[in-house]
Amino acid sequence: MERQNLVQQLSGVLSFEESLSCIERVVTEVEVICWVVSWGVDAGLSLCRPVDDRPLYPYQNVGTTSPRDDDGSAPRITLQESFNFFGQNYSQIFLNNNGDLTFDAPWSSYIPEQFPRHGGRDIIAPFWTDLDNRVNGDIRYVQYSNGPVLQQVSNDINVYFPDLSFHANWVFIATWENVAYFNENGKQTTFQVVLTTDGQFSFVLMNYGSIANTSKSVQAGYDTADSSHHFSIPGSMTNNAVGSNSFFSLHSNVNVPGRWVFRVDQGSTGCNYNGKNATAPWAERPTPLTTQHFPFRAHALTFYPSSVRITCPSTE
């Protein structure tokens, strides 16, 4: 109980489940990895990797199911609140089966292109590749304007961006559950993209569950029409994107393995990277604007707080 109280105070969690390698917190059915590695244990990222539905928000049997298709899209979705994507305000969105969201029209492209692509289209791509859920897998979407999921998203954003006092008034969640790759029906991949706003700030969250192996290329991140704002999650367009050691699932920019979060209402040209995993090799030092909270030791455990943030990798 003493350790439980300590972790609750340090991590701000609501409930606690203890193991040697990880502490998992459960909030309104949402299981989030709090990456904690025991001293004296030869532990790596694999001990704390997301499994199954972690760190996804609730999605099973929730919302509207998109038609099963190869390269199809859901019908145009009218957003309950306007979403600002780098200066463009959108009131509609298209959920495309091949792992991306577009705003202007449905998109059937199944061959991913590396970001920045200068393609003349705003795109949010949690997992752009050649998917096919005609045989297995569901693609669902849901919008929230109140309730526990809305509150949980607000809480999470305030952990990752503590200076904004963010209070979401709308959340959109799209989940690809156990979808197959084209001509690979025996493989199942689960991932999720979340859009949220409070009317001033806008965020995109990308959550990764189990990622099946494939030889297909995958692009994850976002890109604006003129590529003035873009981000490619490390591992994209390489074999590190997929399989049990998927970089998307094992790493994070907000210290929650399997979760990537971006502020998208404004940002620096070419790089809008907030937060980092404690061992992220591409960001060895903080930029001058970054406040870093280093790992600390308590009760024989090393804690990597989720408040660690980095704006962009240093270019000095």
Q: Could you tell me which of 237, 183, 234, 179 has the C-alpha nearest to residue 212? A: 179
What sign results for the dihedral spanned by CA atoms 223, 132, 60, 276?
negative
Range of the domain at 259: 2-303
pLDDT of residue 192: 98
Residues 6+ apart with CB under 8 A from 232: 114, 115, 219, 220, 221
Structural domain includes residue 308:
no
> Is residue 116 domain-resident?
yes
Kindly state the DSSP code that residue 289 receives in the 8-state scheme.
Answer: T
One pLDDT digit (tens) per residue for the chain, 316 residues: 444 443 443 344 333 333 323 333 322 222 333 333 222 223 333 333 334 456 899 998 899 999 999 999 999 999 999 999 999 999 999 999 999 999 999 999 999 999 999 999 999 999 999 999 999 999 999 999 999 999 999 999 999 999 999 999 999 999 999 999 999 988 999 999 999 999 999 999 999 999 999 999 999 999 999 999 999 999 999 999 999 999 999 999 999 999 999 999 985 433 444 333 333 333 322 222 223 333 333 333 333 433 333 333 333 3
d(CA 104, CA 94): 8
Answer yes or no: is 126 within a domain: yes
In a domain, 53, yes or no: yes
Using an 8 Å Cβ cutoff, are 81 and 169 in contact?
yes
Is residue 309 a part of any domain in this protein?
A: no
Residue 310 lies in a domain: no
Tell me the two tokens of residue 20.
Answer: 């040697």
The domain total for the chain is 1
> Residue 161 falls within a domain, yes or no?
yes
Residue 271 located in a structural domain:
yes
The torsion angles phi and psi of 152, rounded to 5 degrees, stand at -65, -40
pLDDT at site 54: 65
Closest C-alpha to 35, from 230, 196, 251: 251
Buried b (16+ CB within 10 A) or exposed e, 288-312: eebeeeeeeeeeebebbbbbbbbbb
